Amino acid sequence: MLYNEIIEGQAKISVIGLGYVGMPLAVAFAKKLQVIGFDINEEKVDLYKSGIDPTTEVGDEEIRNTSVEFTSDERKLKEAKFHVVSVPTPINLDKTPNLDPVEGASELIGRNLTKGSIVVYESTVYPGVTENICIPILEKASGLKCGVDFKVGYSPERINPSDKVNTLEKIIKIVSSMDTESLEEIAKLYELIIEAGVFKASSIKVAEAAKVVENSQRDINIAFMNELAMVFDRMNIDTKDVIEAMNTKWNALGFTPGLVGGHCIGVDPYYFIYEAEKLGYHSQIILSGRKINDGMGKFVADAIIKKLIEGNKVIKNSRIVILGLTFKENTPDTRNSKVIDIIHELEEYGINCLIVDPVADEKEVWNEYNLELTDLKDIKEADCLVFAVGHNEFKTMNLEDIDKLYKEMPNNEKILIDVKSQFNKEEVYKKGLLYWRL
């Protein structure tokens, strides 16, 4: 059995794609087994080799002490017989799935695939991609026959970036495969590192569907709260007050409005919608939820403009500071951040915002959005502060701290936009600031 070969050190595991998902997985496996960590990004690989964790998911000390063999040389994959694919699956500008990374990874593995291997995909895809797209690529690139020379499985990633409580080891792992024999081997290998245990899905398609559905469900629930927030804004009702009252019931779900970006919840529903459309079904609930959540950047930007007008500001000359650019708190990942939608909307009014984010990767921000970050200590003379992301560094700031960032002017001309509802409303009103929160 391949499991025994790996346990006895006769075969290695490879993890292809060393981002927020793949790197923690490689480090976890390396505590038990021999692991090759592969990524085509040589700069990222060099950081790992030097003991630096650019994702901040496991930290520099873990990277320095791990036995993972980090490499960008695909030939090293020939030493492994259990391959885990954890490359991103983004969407195109037209919201259709972009399978280039997963297809490229399949070709790369195929070129280095040996008989008796198992390939497990963790990348989020719509049902059918693993069997209908990935397997043919593996067969063509390797010259081997799936089911005879190698096996394929699917185990969707469930990592929550920046979450130090619900970590990889503590989240139940869904596993699936093309047959019972390989399913058992896949399950036993994951059980070595997943303390919460594994759930054996009945098929690869079921496992693929489970992933897109769990993220779509969360997306829809947040969309509902976002729609309520937009309506309550017109009613001049504070949404957070409503939520706090509602949450006193035992079966309240605890969702809150917000910007829904990132490479999971803001993307995965489009994979489901795409496949449904191909089968002749036009999504109603899921697509509506996506439209609402995709429009929240504009809604916040409009609220900012209204407050600028209320504060008698000259719109184009207003000095607006955006605090937070990443897609969620305490992670450097800026991919598909919806804060950028706020910035772009304000640019339509001729406003050039100053952006502060002590967590974001400056180089990534420049490459991704052609934007420069400003250090918080250099912020002064602001007309409007927009707290867009709840980084720990921002949560510790009180009203006295932020008061130093404004221009010298009456408090009723200082504008505070609180997207994450981190400030105490009564204290803000007592100070007399022009305040709006989502």
Q: Is 146 a catalytic residue?
A: no
Q: Which helix (H) or strand (E) holds 154?
A: strand 150-154
- Cβ neighbour number for residue 205 with a 10 Å cutoff: 18
Q: Which helix (H) or strand (E) holds 152?
A: strand 150-154
- Which one from 134, 146, 264, 384 is the annotated catalytic residue? 264
DSSP output for 82-125: EEEE-----B-TTS-B--HHHHHHHHHHHHT--TTEEEEE-S--
List CB contacts of 353: < 8 A, sequence separation 6 or more. Answer: 320, 321, 322, 343, 346, 347, 386
DSSP output for 411-435: GGG-EEEETT--S-HHHHHHHT-EE
Give the span between the Cα atoms of 280 and 278, in whole angstroms: 5
Q: Could you give the residue ranges of the DSSP H alpha helices within 168-295?
A: 180-191, 204-235, 239-246, 268-278, 285-294
Closest to 36 in 3D by CA, of 62, 67, 5, 4: 67
Closest to 97 in 3D by CA, of 277, 344, 282: 277
> Could you list the active site residues?
264
